[in-house]
Amino acid sequence: MQNYFIKGFLVLACLALVSMPLSAQKGGGACATAGVQLSQSTATPGGASFGIFGGVSNCSSQRQRYDVEITFMSACGVETVLASSVIRFNPFENRLISTAGLIPSGTCLGAGTVTLNVYSGSSLLASASAPLTIQ
């Protein structure tokens, strides 16, 4: 099952890089792409954890340091940070990210969203989302 996710993210990262303009691929400034998938489409507040699998690519020709943050936005509009880290990338390097997410008890029921954001300083470089229904 995990190989399926890894292959999917590698394909996603390659497609994102190929679809990017050549000027962005050769530029030295901060440049990133992102993708995210979940191990399940539903969760319960305070219930068992679920898997979050992401891919982040540095599409810059220089080494970069990016802040990667994974959040959950509930149907009520409440945002919860599920994971956050600083990752250093070599030029054109791709990284796979996996972590476990847990929805806090008291979260309202309904359609929510898990989002993976990639920042360089305060600038949002890339974002990817996946739906997660809370029931």
Name the band, by pLDDT with cuts 50, 70 and 90, for residue 110: very high
All structural domains of the chain: 2-134 (2.60.40.3880)
pTM for this prediction? 0.78
- Give CA 50 to chain center in angstroms: 14
Query: 3-state DSSP helix/strand/coil percent for the chain, to nearest 5?
Result: 15, 50, 30
The answer, yes or no, to whether residue 21 has pLDDT greater than 60, is no
**Residue 99's closest CA among 56, 131, 54?**
54
